[in-house]
Structure 1
Amino acid sequence: MGLERCWYKRSRWLCLLRPLELLFRSLAARRRQRYREGALKSWTAPVPVIVVGNISVGGTGKSPLVIWLVEYLRQQGYKPGVISRGYRASPPTTPYFVTSGSTATEAGDEPLMIVRRTAVPLVISPDRVAAAKLLLEQSGCDLIISDDGLQHYALNRTLEIAVIDGARGFGNRRCLPEGPLREPVRRLDEVDLVVVNGALPETVVDAGHVEKSFLMTLQPGKLVSLSSGSAVIADQWRGSRQVNAVAAIGNPGRFGKTLETLGFTPQLRRFPDHHHYSESDLSFEQQLPLIMTEKDAVKCDHIKLENGWYLQVDAAMEERFSATLDRLLSRWQPAAQSAE
């Protein structure tokens, strides 16, 4: 967490890491070039593949966008499926088909959250190609959404969508470990769509990506009880407006601000992204209602929380995003033969 704060505060001492950053960029560029030249093999699926990723480490809002895509594409007549790395997951086998009965330990928090929200067929594996093949074999899907994987070049893609945290932008605009970027900002020149979670940062404007950039806002939905499954909108909340809160996401402060806009006064306890909770993590001196993110909630199946709630958050996209997505997908043509 300390290094992450330095990235976004643009601490001067980070320049000491410049030799490592240059090495990282060189190795990443060389690896991608080997895929382009065919020295490393890539696989083309017989269905469209939409990669939703980012060029920075940490959360940017990919999962809400994946959920939006699943629901929207279903409305357009597609049968989407999702693949994911399953970060910090420990499945019994790989690739692994995630179900609503899976645990967060087996499936990873984000894949499990997506499945429980949408019931979409979803497979996790560090090998995206293996995940895609199993998904196609067992689900009958006709479109694949890859949750993350922008840098996983072994899987060819029909469309690339890069998601940016509009509040934090690109930090000091340097690559790892000097900065938060997995690839230089110029990588955005090559993606098909740029989705900005929140206000459009000047860094996107400066890079000349405005025409293909679209605003995504995360709109708070219902508060859902962890014990009963009952739901209530914030305006109808009858409990104390002073609440305990936890967040183990890429930008916990965003969650705290969301609760404040809903009229709550949260005592927010922050944890690292993907943190697995213990009972002591959720124990507060004041016995107040406890509110967490939906991503946190799937990691609390083993903890009894009588007054625990999670806040659903829904992505809202610009209208022109749907039209652009439809137009780009209409260009897809099946490959004559997929490489094995």
Structure 2
Amino acid sequence: MLVSRWLHLNLPKVWRSRNGLARLLLPLSVFFASLLAIRQGLYRLGLFRNVRLPVPVVVVGNVVAGGAGKTPLTMAIVQHLVAQGWHPGVLSRGHGRPTQDTCAVQSSSTPAEVGDEPLLIHQKTGVPVWVGPKRADAGLALLQAHPETDILVCDDGLQHRALARDIEVCVMDERGIGNGWLMPAGPLRENWPRKVDLLLHTGQNDVGGGFQARRQLADWAVDGQGRRVALDSLRGQPVDALAGLARPEGFFNLLGDKGLSLHQTTPLPDHFDFAAWPKAALLRPLLCTEKDAAKLWQHQALALAVPLELTPEPAFWSALDRLMGALPKR
């Protein structure tokens, strides 16, 4: 556990440059590259096959390890599609849950059953969401349960080649591609550049092309009993914050941008389960992410979840609409 936490907190720092530790890991990256090449070759030869579903599929993902805004963008795309008259559903692997079954996300589901991100997507959008390690199986099950669905959005599926897709959307934050090396010497899950239909930057980086999105926190937070608290009311007093994200410092920085004085910050591994979290009285207001809230509120109902708002530039939506309009009829 200590080694895992050290890697979680320190590898992203290593990946910023081609330093000595990154170079020591290069032989493992060469091995990883060979595995990627073999896998891609098997798909090209048809020995591995991808499944094309009977409705269009939009895949949202990134090419680096760690969060870049995939889930917030997935929710934004779903809400845009609904406004355009589509009836979307969402597919996800369901990271962080102990089981590997294919199932629907219900209003009564827990993060342990379906994963924290799929539960958040369902709560925020209200559209059908199914999880499963094989996204094609989850898609077929969703379509059978909700035959009115006419498009599927796959959250974090860029490298899941078993699912055929019509549109690929890649998200990049301020890290860009880091030192440009494959894992574990660098952050890349696959080689870059690669062809994608849309590239969206949620932070300033050195990767050219694509569109920009503004990422900021809402002006309010909500506790486990549904009570809203304006962030302005927390200024001028010390507050604590925690985040179970791939890059928890991003959340802490956004809180600082809101003018809050952070007394103690607790970075936690992505999809942290909070099972052993103490139910002690709070010394100061405790802020968390929406993703963590459903798990944390079971132990600390007064914790304040702050929503993340992702706003792509209008040109991104225009480009997506053009791609949607060019999809073949099925």
TM-score, normalising length: structure 2: 0.91
Match of residue 214, structure 2, among 217, 233, 254 = 217
Cα distance in 2 for residues equivalent to 1:254 and 1:282: 26
Deviation at 1:318, TM superposition (A): 0.5
Deviation at 1:223, TM superposition (A): 2.9
In the other structure, the counterpart of 1:260 is 256
In the other structure, the counterpart of 2:307 is 312
In the other structure, the counterpart of 2:318 is 323
Match of residue 108, structure 1, among 103, 106, 115 = 115
The alignment status of 1:195 with 2:163, answered yes or no, reads no
Match of residue 226, structure 1, among 216, 223, 243 = 223
Deviation at 1:37, TM superposition (A): 2.7
In the other structure, the counterpart of 2:15 is 7
Query: Helix, strand or coil for the counterpart of 2:79?
Result: helix
- The aligned runs of 1:131-170 (5 Å cut-off) are 131-140=138-147, 141-166=149-174, 168-170=175-177
Contact 1:68 / 1:314 at 8 angstroms: preserved in 2? no
In the other structure, the counterpart of 2:5 is none
The alignment status of 1:174 with 2:171, answered yes or no, reads no
Cα distance in 2 for residues equivalent to 1:115 and 1:315: 17
In the other structure, the counterpart of 1:88 is 96
Letter in 2 for 1:66: T
In the other structure, the counterpart of 1:274 is 271
Query: Helix, strand or coil for the counterpart of 1:217?
Result: strand
In the other structure, the counterpart of 1:43 is 51
Letter in 1 for 2:327: W
Letter in 1 for 2:137: A
Match of residue 287, structure 1, among 258, 283, 286 = 283
Change (3 A) 1:9 1:296: farther
Change (3 A) 1:39 1:257: same
Cα distance in 2 for residues equivalent to 1:181 and 1:282: 39
Query: Helix, strand or coil for the counterpart of 1:156?
Result: coil
Cα distance in 1 for residues equivalent to 2:245 and 2:23: 27
Q: How many residues align?
A: 320
Cα distance in 1 for residues equivalent to 2:211 and 2:121: 22
The alignment status of 1:298 with 2:298, answered yes or no, reads no
Query: Helix, strand or coil for the counterpart of 1:3?
Result: helix
In the other structure, the counterpart of 1:338 is none
Deviation at 1:103, TM superposition (A): 0.8
Cα distance in 1 for residues equivalent to 2:280 and 2:241: 11
Q: Which consecutive residues of structure 1, in runs of 5 or more, have no partner in the other structure?
A: 336-340
In the other structure, the counterpart of 1:244 is 240
Deviation at 1:238, TM superposition (A): 5.8
Q: Which consecutive residues of structure 2, in runs of 5 or more, have no partner in the other structure?
A: 1-7
Cα distance in 2 for residues equivalent to 1:162 and 1:84: 16
Contact 1:74 / 1:80 at 8 angstroms: preserved in 2? yes
What's the Cα RMSD here?
Answer: 1.9
Cα distance in 2 for residues equivalent to 1:186 and 1:281: 45
In the other structure, the counterpart of 2:3 is none
Contact 1:239 / 1:289 at 8 angstroms: preserved in 2? no
Change (3 A) 1:282 1:12: farther
Cα distance in 2 for residues equivalent to 1:155 and 1:227: 37
Deviations 1:178-212 (A, max 9, x none): 1111101122xx1001111122x11x12xxxx1xx
Contact 2:222 / 2:306 at 8 angstroms: preserved in 1? no
TM-score, normalising length: structure 1: 0.89
Change (3 A) 1:228 1:301: closer
Deviation at 1:5, TM superposition (A): 2.3
Query: Helix, strand or coil for the counterpart of 1:8?
Result: coil
Cα distance in 1 for residues equivalent to 2:278 and 2:315: 42
Letter in 2 for 1:26: S
Q: Percent identity?
A: 37
Change (3 A) 1:80 1:324: same
